[in-house]
């Protein structure tokens, strides 16, 4: 009781000092509140602690009074309560003297001491473990115990830094683009650490040198954040099965290569600096089959590992893979012909759907009514059940609408074969998407799983109906663009309900007219789904879209999937998470709830520095993704990134990762354009460049005053920002359909970094004169390496053929006077005139010229999951505008050229 009263008085003084309030009457209320809070925390932390004591490593899995949501996955991944209060004191507490809350340590310490005393050390030569005065145990672990001091200091590194800091006068440097896509900057770490650090494809930070304080970060005027691609397809991934997953007892961080071993029995957490015991099991190394070398375990050797989780990490038995397909069968949908493509694609990939013997599948179609399909094993043919009461949609029968794929495979095949023909003569033009989604939710809520929605028009009936909001006359207005946000919160609420029941909703929108993607996309955004959009899709008139749809479906149906997932991002004490970007629901300050997780989605996180990092030289970030695999295994994928902390502004600039910065800024700009306005977002982007370059100029003393100076690390910053401003998502003045704009926003927010960069600043190559010089030789094939060209029409010549790689689409632009050999040997036509205007692939010809070109293109596509649409663009065709809009350095009617943009920045800076 004494303890609590002390806490209260301490807290009261802080609170009221803060708010400048003189109180006397209200003290009782506040005291009541504080007591209530204290006791709540007491219960919680006490509960957690006892649980941990019992099962060593798990955290609370039961639903106690403190966790109001019964199926809280938060508690599973662990970390919530006691950890957070230690890590991040409530806002406003003066960071320095913030004492760890009293209730935390008293419960912690006894628990800590209650642990069975460490057993006598098995290898006596190591001297054993003496609690009162142990000897620093540094000999066998030289690299690990000296981790924090193991910063670079190598000769090469400082040279590297000098290079990235070299001042560049942007106005004079014409060829600013490197000849090859530049690799991300290497953090300035010692070789040992660099070797084990997380791959930049998975985990990237905008500043590879973390500034020590928020003040320093503010001085640099660069955003601090992480770009994550956590569920990426990996070729090599250490999977660890062990009874105890070793985690820090206070912040629940998973053991990782950047922890330090104080001695053989104890390790120090690199995020919260708590000293933990090494459990017995961890002493044995399954890889080398040796005992007593905890620092050689795979967890400590790899920064990306996957654990097979025990039942401590489950709230319910792992769910089976459940797939529900929700198909639009209105007249419009049948007319577009997507049903045929989809059914064929699913038939082809039915065996390859990720899952096991428990996999369930179901179909629902809808127009103005909702149709269910009974696929019960033993029926001679699928049975269609129509629910026409869309105001109060119900599930007609409960057991046989979602069926086991193995048992009912024949019926599923029958249905898929019959579906395209069933609605050919439909006259129904209405679409009751809202009620169909509600039905899907009801159908799926007992299990969770994935709902795939195919929609071809604006929903016009029942709950969630939408009106057309787009005014075609305003498509190219330079003023504000309206209706970027949802018109109704129906889809958002539904998504939150779905997320709560572990249902992810993926949306395929195939429409030629406005369908209000801004509202519809919410259903995927908050349930961690993905959005696909095929504007003006038609199976005959638009073959390029059809091929893209086929390829995407192929990948979509067969890609890996994780169910009932949560992702927690932990970072070194002092850093905190500010905002998340991507498709998910934010459950708490550092926890994302992901009903489904797919290998093609990326996330961005904005960070802030709450406490000075002066007493540490390394900052670490750990992303832990807990999910159920399609085989019904609970798994945890853990990525850890380690970066140096610096105290000098110049070092912050030297470590800037311009691609990551651009992606994070893009995410921030999109948030801004929805919450405020598009013009605000555009201004903010320009200001980001202006501020940053001003900050650099103010910092550098030896720089000549004229010109626009940027450090070499940031020399592409203005170019990327200009490219962002010319994206469909953010451009003004050029005619852009609202749906395409919103889709572009969705893509920028949910794609991984590589994909965004290709989209924002595509790669341009000249491919009609590729030589074998500097070519790559991989497995007997020669892959020419043409240099990257700047995105300006100046680089194009009529004599050449150019390949523009925009990520989701590729253009091959053929000039009027392109040499005939190229047209004949690569494209398979006699001359330029005979080239058709709608070619969508390169024929496989048996000439070296063709082989070389195809080798190059397939090399570009190698690491990509979704294959791009391919267009051959003739110089005189009407489609060439879609090619030329990607040449971002050129002037358009409504936007600056690159040089003008630089002058604009310079002008802004001198203001």
Partner 1 sequence: MAFTFAAFCYMLALLLTAALIFFAIWHIIAFDELKTDYKNPIDQCNTLNPLVLPEYLIHVFFCVMFLCATEWLTLGLNIPLLAYHIWRYMSRPVMSGPGLYDPTTIMNADILAYCQKEGWCKLAFYLLSFFYYLYGMIYVLVSS
Footprint of partner 1 (CB under 8 A)? 18-21, 23, 26, 29-30, 33, 37, 40, 44, 66, 68-69, 72, 74, 80-81, 84-85, 90-91, 485-490, 492-493, 496, 500, 526, 576-580, 585-589, 591, 608
d(C-alpha 185, C-alpha 292), whole Å: 37
What sections of 153-236 are H helices per DSSP? Answer: 155-165, 191-196, 214-220
What sections of 761-897 are H helices per DSSP? Answer: 820-822, 848-861, 880-884
Q: Based on CB atoms, which residue is closest to partner 1, 57 or 74?
A: 74
Give a three-class secondary structure readout of 674-732.
HHCCHHHHHHHHHHHHHHHHHHHHHHCCCCCCCCCEEEHHHCCHHHHHHHHHCCCCCCC
Q: Based on CB atoms, which residue is closest to partner 1, 70 or 155?
A: 70
Give a three-class secondary structure readout of 46-73.
HHHHHHHHHHCCCCCCCCCCCCCCCCCC
Q: How far is the CB of 569 from partner 1 (least distance, A)?
A: 13
Q: Give the position of tokens 């992901």.
A: 594
Is 481:678 a contact under the CB 8 Å cutoff?
Answer: yes
Q: Based on CB atoms, which residue is closest to partner 1, 6 or 26?
A: 26
Strand-pairing partners, residue 620, are 642
Tell me the C-alpha to C-alpha distance, in Å, between residue 502 and each of 230, 451, 499, 573, 602.
Answer: 19, 11, 5, 31, 19
Q: Based on CB atoms, which residue is closest to partner 1, 30 or 418?
A: 30
- When computed from its CA atoms, the radius of gyration of the chain, rounded to whole angstroms, is 29
Q: How far is the CB of 737 from partner 1 (least distance, A)?
A: 21
Q: How far is the CB of 454 from partner 1 (least distance, A)?
A: 25
CA geometry: angle 52, 597, 556, nearest 5 deg: 155
Tell me the C-alpha to C-alpha distance, in Å, between residue 879 and each of 871, 872, 874, 882.
Answer: 9, 9, 8, 6
Q: Based on CB atoms, which residue is closest to partner 1, 318 or 464?
A: 464
d(C-alpha 135, C-alpha 127), whole Å: 9
Name the pairing type of β-strands 709-711 and 225-228.
Answer: unpaired
Q: How far is the CB of 115 from partner 1 (least distance, A)?
A: 26
* DSSP for residue 101: P
Q: Based on CB atoms, which residue is closest to partner 1, 304 or 596?
A: 596
Q: How far is the CB of 749 from partner 1 (least distance, A)?
A: 13
Q: How far is the CB of 531 from partner 1 (least distance, A)?
A: 16
The full DSSP string for 305-361 is: EEEEP-GGG-SSSPPPPEEEEEEE-SHHHHHHTHHHHHHHHHHHHGGGSS--TT-EE
The pair of three-digit structure tokens given for residue 654, joined into one six-digit string:
């030297």
Q: Based on CB atoms, which residue is closest to partner 1, 527 or 850?
A: 527
Q: Based on CB atoms, which residue is closest to partner 1, 81 or 323?
A: 81
Phi, psi torsion values for 621, nearest 5 degrees:
-130, 140
* DSSP for residue 818: -
Q: How far is the CB of 606 from partner 1 (least distance, A)?
A: 8
| Cα atoms in the 13 Å half-sphere on the side-chain side of 873 | 21
Q: Based on CB atoms, which residue is closest to partner 1, 247 or 568?
A: 568
**Torsion of the alpha carbons at 182, 577, 741 and 858, rounded to the nearest 10:** 30
**C-alpha closest to that of 714 among 690, 682, 749, 681:** 690
Q: Based on CB atoms, which residue is closest to partner 1, 248 or 709?
A: 248
Q: Based on CB atoms, which residue is closest to partner 1, 30 or 395?
A: 30
Q: Give the position of tokens 């310490």.
A: 109
Q: Based on CB atoms, which residue is closest to partner 1, 217 or 806?
A: 217
Q: Based on CB atoms, which residue is closest to partner 1, 19 or 117?
A: 19
């Amino acid at each position: 009781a004494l303890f609590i009263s002390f806490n209260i008085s301490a807290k009261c003084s802080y609170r009221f000092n803060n708010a400048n309030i003189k109180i006397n009457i209200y003290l009782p209320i506040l005291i009541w509140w504080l007591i209530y809070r204290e006791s709540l925390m007491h219960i919680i932390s006490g509960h957690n602690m006892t649980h941990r004591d019992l099962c060593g490593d798990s955290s609370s899995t039961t639903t106690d009074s403190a966790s109001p949501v019964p199926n809280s996955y938060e508690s599973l991944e662990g970390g919530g309560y006691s950890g957070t209060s230690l890590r991040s004191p409530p806002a406003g507490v003066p960071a320095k003297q913030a004492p760890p809350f009293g209730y935390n340590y008293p419960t912690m310490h006894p628990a800590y001491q209650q642990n069975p005393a460490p057993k006598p050390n098995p290898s006596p030569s190591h001297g054993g473990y003496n609690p009162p005065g142990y000897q620093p145990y540094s000999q066998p672990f030289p690299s690990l115990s000296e981790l924090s001091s193991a910063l670079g200091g190598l000769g090469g590194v400082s040279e590297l830094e000098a290079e990235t800091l070299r001042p560049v006068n942007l106005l004079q440097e014409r060829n600013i683009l490197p000849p090859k896509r530049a690799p991300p900057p290497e953090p300035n770490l010692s070789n040992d650490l660099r070797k084990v650090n997380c791959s930049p494809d998975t985990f990237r930070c905008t500043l590879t040198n973390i500034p020590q304080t928020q003040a320093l970060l503010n001085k640099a005027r660069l955003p601090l954040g992480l770009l994550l691609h956590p569920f990426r397809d990996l070729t090599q991934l250490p999977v660890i099965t062990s009874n105890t997953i070793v985690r820090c007892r206070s912040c629940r961080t998973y053991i990782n290569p950047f922890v330090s071993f104080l001695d053989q029995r104890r390790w120090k957490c690199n995020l919260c600096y708590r000293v933990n015991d090494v459990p017995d099991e961890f002493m044995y190394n399954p890889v080398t089959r040796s005992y007593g070398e905890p620092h050689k375990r795979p967890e400590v050797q790899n920064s990306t590992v996957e654990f097979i989780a025990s039942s401590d990490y489950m709230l319910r038995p792992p769910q089976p893979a459940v797939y529900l397909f929700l198909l639009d069968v209105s007249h419009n949908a049948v007319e577009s012909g997507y049903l045929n493509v989809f059914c064929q694609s699913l038939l082809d990939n039915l065996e390859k759907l990720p899952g096991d013997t428990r996999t369930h599948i179901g179909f629902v179609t809808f127009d103005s009514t909702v149709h269910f399909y009974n696929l019960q094993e033993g029926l001679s043919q699928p049975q269609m059940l129509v629910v026409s009461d869309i105001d109060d949609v119900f599930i007609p029968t409960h057991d046989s609408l979602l069926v086991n794929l193995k048992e009912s495979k024949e019926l599923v095949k029958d249905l898929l074969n019959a579906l395209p023909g069933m609605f050919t003569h439909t006259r129904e033009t209405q679409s009751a998407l809202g009620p169909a989604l509600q039905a899907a939710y009801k159908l799926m809520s007992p299990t969770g799983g994935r709902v795939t929605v195919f929609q071809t028009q604006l929903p016009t009936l029942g709950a969630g109906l939408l009106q057309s909001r787009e005014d075609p006359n305003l498509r190219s207005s330079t003023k504000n663009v309206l209706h970027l946000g949802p018109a109704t919160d129906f889809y958002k609420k539904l998504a939150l309900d779905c997320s709560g029941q572990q249902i992810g909703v993926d949306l395929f929108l195939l429409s030629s007219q406005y369908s209000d993607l801004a509202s519809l996309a919410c259903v995927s955004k908050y349930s961690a789904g993905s959005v696909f959009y095929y504007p003006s899709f038609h199976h005959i008139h638009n073959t390029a879209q059809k091929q893209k749809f086929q390829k995407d479906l192929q990948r979509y149906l067969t890609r890996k999937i994780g169910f009932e997932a949560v992702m927690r991002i932990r970072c070194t004490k002092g850093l905190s998470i500010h905002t998340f970007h991507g498709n998910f629901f934010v459950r708490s300050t550092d926890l994302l709830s992901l009903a489904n997780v797919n290998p093609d989605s990326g996330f961005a996180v904005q960070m802030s520095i709450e406490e000075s990092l002066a007493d540490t030289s390394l900052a670490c970030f750990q992303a832990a993704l807990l999910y159920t695999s399609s085989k019904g295994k609970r798994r945890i994928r853990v990525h850890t990134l380690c970066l140096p902390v610096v105290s000098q502004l110049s070092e912050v600039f030297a470590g800037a990762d311009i691609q990551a910065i651009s992606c994070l800024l893009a995410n921030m700009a999109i948030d801004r354009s929805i919450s405020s306005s598009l013009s605000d977002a555009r201004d903010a982007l320009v200001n980001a460049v202006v501020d940053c370059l001003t900050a650099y100029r103010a910092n550098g003393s030896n720089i000549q005053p004229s010109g626009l100076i940027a450090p070499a690390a940031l020399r592409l910053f203005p170019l990327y920002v200009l490219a962002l401003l010319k994206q469909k998502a953010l451009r003004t003045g050029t005619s852009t359909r609202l749906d395409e704009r919103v889709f572009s926003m969705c893509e920028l927010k949910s794609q991984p970094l590589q994909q965004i960069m290709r989209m924002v600043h595509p790669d341009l190559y000249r491919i009609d004169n590729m030589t074998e010089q500097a070519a790559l030789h991989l497995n007997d094939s020669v892959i020419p390496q043409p240099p990257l060209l700047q995105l300006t029409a100046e680089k194009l010549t009529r004599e050449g053929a150019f390949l523009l790689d925009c990520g989701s689409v590729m253009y091959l632009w053929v000039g009027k006077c392109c040499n005939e050999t190229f047209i004949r040997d690569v494209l398979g036509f006699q001359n330029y005139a005979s080239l058709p205007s709608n070619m969508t692939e390169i024929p496989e010809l048996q000439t070296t010229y063709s082989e070389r070109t195809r080798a190059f293109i397939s090399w570009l596509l190698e690491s990509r999951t979704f294959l791009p649409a391919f267009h051959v663009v003739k110089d005189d065709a009407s489609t060439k505008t879609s090619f030329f809009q990607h040449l971002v350095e050129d002037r358009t009617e409504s936007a600056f050229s690159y040089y003008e943009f630089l002058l604009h920045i310079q002008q802004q800076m001198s203001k």
